[in-house]
Structure 1
Amino acid sequence: MLPLVLASSSPYRRELLARLRLPFTWSAPAIDEARYPDESPQTLVRRLAEQKAGALAGQYGNHLIIGSDQVAVLDGEILGKPHDFSRAHAQLMAASGRSLTFLTGLTVLNSATATCQIDCVAFTVHFRELDAARITRYLEAEQPFDCAGSFKAEGLGVSLFRATEGPDASSLVGLPLIRLVDMLLAEGVEIP
């Protein structure tokens, strides 16, 4: 089995990948993550996931390199990471009573053969009606300022949801494990 490398500095993605109980290393790829003009959110995340994996191919020959990228989309507009309280509050107010779709691009690059598997997994969160006070309490409690959509689904953020919809709940955190297992199995990886 080729060794695994996660092309990410995200602690959330590392925690998810560790669930598969496979040894892996990780490295942060240096790429420009800017969106191209008129690029769809789906195309963007697929491209960035592939570029992240490709950026490490020279450094990690004979590896399976996992790249992932995620955006949150509301009414066709991408919501970035809020980085601060006021932006997070505005994002959650905009999502109140509505649905937010997370698109996660996923790539597994075999750097030994230069073959690449690429996909995009969608997952939708349907929000409860939220008022400003509830959003403030949530943001003060969890401070999800480094998370697209301004919440942590693996934490208290789930209290903001009315329902979720999609093939793989782990994609909401940034690494769709069900689809990743399919890709790894196609590469001959034996998963416990």
Structure 2
Amino acid sequence: MIGWVQPNQELTMLALLLASSSLYRRELLARLQLPFTWASPDIDETRQPAESAIDLVRRLAMQKAQALAGSHPNHLIIGSDQVAVLGEHILGKPHTVERACEQLLACSGQQVTFLTAVALLNSATGQCQVDCVPFTVKLRVLDRERIERYVAAEMPLDCAGSFKAEGLGVSLFESTEGRDATSLVGLPLIRLVDMLALEGVSVP
């Protein structure tokens, strides 16, 4: 899938490409008021043996950007990936209602750290910047009935951690801690603005 967003601003020298079809990431990137296209990369997201959560998201963010470099040779390509971590356990996307409920029960009253990696690849030069931004959420103590109501209302089946922080999921939070709240949704804009500046792209 390929799409296009064109705010009222001139194109930068290198076109901006978001290596994701995620609506959440497109909405976040649109906040910067830069014109961009998006395309979905095709990569294997399987975790490698003994790979840490941070190494996993950094690698996948880079691979997503690199997967589109051949077909987009004069672009600044943004790749991003996110996992949720509960203790030593990585929480993936639940995909089913039952797994979403089980994830939230396990997270009840606990701190969950979201690790969101962002990569910016200049496909003209091969230069790639990558970083990982953590954000911690403490969930309220939740019973099964409340969790089932939430999952039925918002169906967060494609979200690591089984909630949508930009929606009703915020009602499940007791507190949050982190430098960049946009990282929780899936694209750390504060860090991305720094990366774009190093490529000569200024954000209004």
TM range (shorter): over 0.9
RMSD after superposition: 0.7
Q: Which runs of 5+ in 1 are unaligned?
A: none
Q: Which runs of 5+ in 2 are unaligned?
A: 1-11
1:187 aligns with 2:199: yes
TM-score (norm 1): 0.98
- Alignment: residue pair count: 192
Which residue number in structure 2 is paired with residue 24 of structure 1? 36
Which residue number in structure 2 is paired with residue 156 of structure 1? 168
Q: How far does residue 109 in structure 1 lie from its aligned partner after superposition?
A: 0.3
- Aligned residue among 54, 57, 60 for 2:66: 54
Output the amino acid matched with 1:133: E
SS at match of 1:181: helix
Which residue number in structure 2 is paired with residue 117 of structure 1? 129
Which residue number in structure 2 is paired with residue 84 of structure 1? 96
Which residue number in structure 1 is paired with residue 152 of structure 2? 140
- Aligned residue among 189, 200, 204 for 1:177: 189
Which residue number in structure 2 is paired with residue 103 of structure 1? 115
TM-score (norm 2): 0.93
Distance 2:35 2:64 in 1: 20
Q: Residue deviations 1:77-97, cap 9 Å, x none?
A: 111111111100000000000
Which consecutive aligned stretches of 4+ in structure 1 deviate over 2 angstroms post-superposition? none
Distance 2:157 2:44 in 1: 21
Q: Residue deviations 1:17-47, cap 9 Å, x none?
A: 0111110000111111100000000000000
Distance 2:167 2:117 in 1: 23
% identity of equivalent residues: 70
Distance 2:176 2:128 in 1: 30
- Aligned residue among 49, 55, 58 for 1:37: 49
